[in-house]
Amino acid sequence: MAGMDVLCSDNTGTLTLNKLSVDKNLIEVSEKGVDKEHVMLLAARASRIENQDTIDAAIVGTLADPKEARAGVREIHFLPFNPVDKRTTLTYIDSNGNWHRASKGAPEQIMNLCNLREDAKRNIHAIIDKFAERGLRSLAVSRQEVPEKTKESAGGPWQFVSLLSLFDPPRHDSAETIRRALHLGVNVKMITGDQLAITKETGKSTSISLLHNHLEVFVLTTILELTGEMQSDLIQSQSITFLEILFRSALLYRFSDPMTMKTLQVIVTRLNKGRLSYDLYLQLLLAHSPFAPILHSARKPAGSFLKPISSILKCIAIPFLDHSENNEKHKVLTTKLSKGPLEIVKLLWI
């Protein structure tokens, strides 16, 4: 008999369509005397015009005619993408007999290739972050003169020309598929090499990131008040294995926000010191269906409460409170929570 607890999904081509597009209006030109059209021409020269991958197809597709990518130049050598260099490069001769190279690839690799100053790197990283916040991937473009006129020569200094933005739209069925998986109690994880900001934006588009959608609304405005409401309920009995069950059941998300970390530590510390009621805390958890059967079974020993735990590995989960609950004691808390389920879990080293 088989089962599944965790579903790991790739991002590109799985949650997204893997159909990239380039927005010319968002081209950031770094080199003086270079316009956006020439940037796209350089990027197209550093692309294959046959047997293209999705990035090459998107770049060359911005030209009026794909043949423009090699028009007026003679190709000497093309360096295809590889996991080490993370860029593609074309060595070519122009109509005047001068040798050049054009390269496009991962911004970090291109910046290192161009040996940029730290202030220039900071400016470029700021643009990359701005793109990422909109769910856009960044692609850098550079160029080089080759006075030695040989394909093996090192050539002159590389010039950082521009940053391009690439958009990969989410699949229309991704959100519903993830919703169904979560409803069945399957823990969905996105495995990707993209930046965190891009992953969050994809998550918002596909509903994979319940944390991202509700974190500011719920955690920072509500969790401290919940702590205050619960701290008056003192523990009076021996603990049960509630926390151990929760550890095995809860979805794990990672927080980097210092205020959120501090807030979660407050709650975990109060639970650990026996200052919060197990019963009230459990009612918050029971609203989330994947936890409900397990937590209901944990609730059977009446009058059992949490106790201090010795492990340095702690976690906390605050899901959405059940709106069907008629208990007046929790009514004011219910009205302050956003609509829909929420799971927030953190591994805390205390």
Catalytic center residues: 10
Task: Please choose, from the candidates 267, 293, 269, the residue with its C-alpha nearest in 3D space to the C-alpha of residue 280.
Answer: 267
Structure tokens at 49: 């015009």
Task: Give the H/E segment covering residue 109.
Answer: helix 107-114
Quick one: residue 143, left, alpha or beta (phi over 0 = left, psi -120 to 50 = alpha)? beta
Question: 104, 47 in Cβ contact below 8 A?
Answer: yes
Q: What 3-state class would DSSP assign to 110? A: helix
Please return the burial class of 168, using the count of CB atoms within 10 Å of its CB with bins 0-12, 13-18 and 19+: buried
Q: Which of 174, 205, 162 is nearest to 42 (CA)?
A: 162
- Smallest CA-to-CA distance from 101 within 51, 52, 156, 143 is with 143
Alpha helices in 258-300 (DSSP H): 258-272, 278-285, 292-298
Could you tell me the two tokens for 67? Answer: 């043949």
Residue 156 neighbours by CB under 8 Å, 6+ apart: 144, 145, 146, 147
Residue type, 263: T
Burial of 67 (0-12, 13-18, 19+ CB in 10 A): exposed
CA distance 66 to 43: 12
Residue with tokens 């093996």: 152
